[in-house]
Amino acid sequence: MKNLFRPFLTYIGLALAALATGCGSDGPEPSLAAGEEHLALGNPSGATTNVAQPTNYLLLKPEYALSYHRTRGIPNWVSWHLETADMGSAARQDDFRPDNTLPASWYQVMGSSYSSSGFDRGHHCPSADRTATTAANSATFLMTNMLPQAPNLNQRTWAGLEEYCRKLARAGSELYIVMGSYGAGGTGSQGMATTLDQGRVTVPARVWKVVVVLPTGKDDATRVTNATRVIAVDVPNQNTVSAAWGGYRTSVDAIEAATGLDLLSAVKPAVQSTLEAQTDNGPTQ
């Protein structure tokens, strides 16, 4: 069963984020704060901008939204919207760097924190999903958008799923994508590890993604129906994984059970219940 308080927590999180960006109650109703559109289908953990909640800290960016876990040094999840307008001709920037929008007193994971570990700096929101401008592409290289990912998982399995999502977007769909991880202990090119950077970065045991595919339109949460395609994938963070991502499909319910998150919480409860119990069997390329 869903957490009945999650929609309320989502509202509080977005309200705090709006206050943080200077939106007041006077004057005309403000437009969405940067990043809020990426949470149109819900805030999976009720993350807020409260610095007293360092394991569920909300960061809203124009390119994506995320819940950061200071102790693990990686996100709990990153959520983003993908459409054709997000893809252009901007070059890959490769400017991996700390995220200076985190509270100043927090440790900032460096671009070099994964060096010589046998794990890739694996994107959540992919570089190739944000090529409309150089600035948008550069934003995907913040270390708050990364996790230590086994190279074959990152470069083969995950890359295949990412390209399939872009194919759907180019064909006229708009996608809402949420990615995260859980557990500790992955196997990279140099063997198994549980942490990097002197224990400051957790190597997750599993990596997951949920993709909601919609025709282009407005009021997206209300347009999700029992017929909407939802792809849920849960893959071990191991270098021996298959390149075929379709074999790792599961249900949203299973991911929620493993993570404690409430995905798609802004979708009508009856529709949510139906979609989250299903495992996708559609095409994979």
Cα(260)–Cα(127) distance, rounded to whole angstroms? Answer: 28
| Residue 68 lies inside a defined structural domain of this protein | no
| Residue 37 lies inside a defined structural domain of this protein | no
Tens digits of per-residue pLDDT, 41-54?
Answer: 999 999 999 999 99
Domain count, the chain: 1
Q: What pTM did the predictor assign?
A: 0.89
| Residue 207 lies inside a defined structural domain of this protein | yes
| Residue 21 lies inside a defined structural domain of this protein | no
Q: What is the pLDDT of residue 180?
A: 98
Respond yes or no: is residue 123 known to be catalytic.
yes
Residue environment code for 116-130, b if the CB has 16+ CB neighbours within 10 A, otherwise e? ebbbbbbbbbbbbbb
Tens digits of per-residue pLDDT, 234-278?
Answer: 999 999 999 999 999 999 999 999 999 999 999 999 999 999 999
Residues 6+ apart with CB under 8 A from 147: 74, 75, 122, 124, 181, 204, 207
CATH number at residue 154: 3.40.570.10
Tens digits of per-residue pLDDT, 149-161?
Answer: 999 999 999 999 9
**Catalytic option among 38, 69, 81, 123:** 123
Residue 88 CB coordination number (10 Å): 13
Domain extent, residue 116, equals 79-276
| Residue 228 lies inside a defined structural domain of this protein | yes
| Residue 59 lies inside a defined structural domain of this protein | no
Element (H, E) at 35: none
Cα(142)–Cα(64) distance, rounded to whole angstroms? Answer: 11
